[in-house]
Amino acid sequence: MSSTGRPPVFDSPGKLEQKIQDYVDKTEGDKKPLTITGLCLFLGFESRQSFYDYEKNKPFSYTVKRARLAIEESYENNLSGNTVAGSIFALKNLGWSDKQEIAVSTTDLPFSIKIESRNKADTE
């Protein structure tokens, strides 16, 4: 994606999209979960960051965002199973949160209040 170093792995969004679909088809056929790391390896990237960098390039942005969304859906679907810790971990690393932050401001109070929801077990 830059003018220095290794040439881009993909020169068109269509080629990237087809390769992503190949990954989805193969992974689902093997009855394995979709993962960002698995996708990056399949696509030939040396790091997840190299894949994320494609999102900054406007022609590739939509394709990368859709791929990430498909993987998030895969993790979401796993949340209904008996062992969900891995999916919860992955979703948190994708930006999800299990706490609620509420900021309150007024002209009389020059500060904000942060309220975190906690389970009863967390306070014992």
Q: Comparing C-alpha atoms, which of 69, 63, 65, 72 is closest to residue 10?
A: 63
Domains of the chain by residue range: 13-97
Q: How many angstroms separate the CA atoms of 74 and 87, rounded? A: 9
38-75, pLDDT tens digit by residue?
999 999 999 999 999 999 999 999 999 999 999 988 87
Q: How many CA atoms lie within 13 A of 85 on its CB side?
A: 1
Q: Are 42 and 25 in contact (CB under 8 A)?
A: no
Look at residue 123 in the predicted model and tell me its pLDDT.
47
Which pair of tokens denotes residue 25?
A: 């088809």
2-19, pLDDT tens digit by residue?
445 677 889 999 999 999
- DSSP letters, 18-80, are HHHHHHHHHHHHTT----HHHHHHHHT-SSHHHHHHHHTSHHHHHHHHHHHHHHHHHHHHHTT
Q: 122 or 100: whose pLDDT is higher? A: 100
